[in-house]
Amino acid sequence: MNQQLRPPRRVVADRVTLAHGGGGKAMRDLIEDVFTSVFAPPGMEDQARLMHPSLLEPGAQLAFTTDSFVVSPMEFPGGDIGTIAVCGTVNDLVVGGARPLWLSAAFIIEEGVEITTLRRIAASMQAAADEAGVRIVTGDTKVVGKGSGDGVFITTSGVGVIPPGRNLVAGSVQPGDVAIVNGVLGDHGAAILAARGDMALTTDITSDCQPLNHLMEAVLAAAPGVRAARDATRGGLASALNEIADAAGVGVEIMETDLPLRPEVKGVCEILGLDPLYLANEGTLVLFVSPDQAETALAAMRATPEGQGACIIGRATASHPGTVVMKTVFGGGRIVDMLVGEQLPRIC
């Protein structure tokens, strides 16, 4: 039957049941009513069929990434699991210098999840996709029995194009390069922690989740001397810096006094004994740029909405290769290592 001729499918249930995963009419109702009516993919075949002129440019590279999202709670101040499922994958493309184009979205839904919750998540995903200028072009849903999941898990894969001539690689960072972040640290981790309700903390902190492609394009246009970037998600800034120090065989030195932190985030960390350097972010990246272009990159970042709080936090060094060292407020020093385990469960 021609899809245009039949009335749109509607979900009648209030909650997801195993029937919505059964491959029959209920599943079609769920997919069309809740997901594809919002995402408006370019076709309903079993695969998305895509073309983009930038792929034809000589020297262009395809960038392809995937990430799964299991955050608890699913909805939190500043976003929900749908927002970070889009932003996280977009940003994984962006930090490699890619222009994101298309996403897939696969949902594992636990029996009993409210349909209205799914609608909110789908709306958040589309809003984030619109903000980033990407399309959600293909997807999948599975339903698992009560107790076999925890609400909704989402896996998104992303495809983008790296324009000719761009080569952002962690290993290319040189001693002397300057480290810049685009804004305050730890908001996402602190917001999730407060939203979880275990601690009876009341704060106004909201997650920082946002796509960073517009910011990155602005910076790369102004400062082609950007050598590498990382989004500071799980493991926080500390993990991102350690990855770069390790890959490039350089040391990294940061100044505690230069780290941008909201007083509320500092407060949450004080109370719970956490280190903000390890708190997750979902809209924050750190990049390394050659010293002669550091001010240009900083100015370009600050001219974007996502980079208004940008600042220089440190630099790469020839000494202590592979190690991140922080100068404390007193002028003492300490090593900032990778997390051993997990500071918090399920933050993204």
Report if residue 340 touches other proteins, rule: CB under 8 A: yes
Segment lying near other proteins (by CB under 8 A), choices 181-189, 225-233, 292-300, 325-333: 325-333
Record the tokens describing residue 299, joined without a space. Answer: 């100015």
CA quadruple 40, 46, 52, 54: dihedral sign:
positive
Q: What are phi and psi of 80, to 5 degrees?
A: -150, -175
Report if residue 270 touches other proteins, rule: CB under 8 A: yes
Specify the residue, 52 or 320, whose C-beta has the smaller distance to other proteins: 320
Task: Determine how β-strand 79-80 pairs with β-strand 75-76.
Answer: antiparallel
Specify the residue, 148 or 328, whose C-beta has the smaller distance to other proteins: 328
The DSSP line for 122-177 is: HHHHHHHHHHHT-EEEEEEEEEE-TTSS-SEEEEEEEEEEEPTT----GGG--TTP
d(CA 303, CA 131): 17
Report if residue 258 touches other proteins, rule: CB under 8 A: no
Report if residue 57 touches other proteins, rule: CB under 8 A: no
Give the H/E segment covering residue 104: strand 99-110
Report if residue 266 touches other proteins, rule: CB under 8 A: yes
Specify the residue, 165 or 330, whose C-beta has the smaller distance to other proteins: 330
d(CA 95, CA 230): 6
Specify the residue, 177 or 253, whose C-beta has the smaller distance to other proteins: 253
The CB-of-334 to other proteins minimum distance in angstroms stands at 4
Q: Which of 22, 292, 333, 346 binds other proteins (CB under 8 A)?
A: 333
Record the tokens describing residue 243, joined without a space. Answer: 């990855």
- Judge contact between 122 and 38, C-beta under 8 A: yes
d(CA 149, CA 111): 8
Q: How many residues contact other proteins, by CB under 8 A? A: 23
Segment lying near other proteins (by CB under 8 A), choices 43-51, 123-131, 262-270, 297-305: 262-270
Task: Determine how β-strand 226-231 pairs with β-strand 135-144.
Answer: unpaired
The CB-of-198 to other proteins minimum distance in angstroms stands at 5
Binding mask 185-204 for other proteins (x = CB under 8 A): -------------xx-----
Specify the residue, 188 or 262, whose C-beta has the smaller distance to other proteins: 262
Report if residue 263 touches other proteins, rule: CB under 8 A: yes
Report if residue 41 touches other proteins, rule: CB under 8 A: no
d(CA 296, CA 285): 17
Report if residue 7 touches other proteins, rule: CB under 8 A: no
Residues 105-144 touching other proteins, rule: CB under 8 A, are: none
User: Where does this chain bind other proteins (CB under 8 A)?
Assistant: 198-199, 251, 263, 266-267, 270, 319-320, 323, 325, 328-335, 337, 340-341, 345
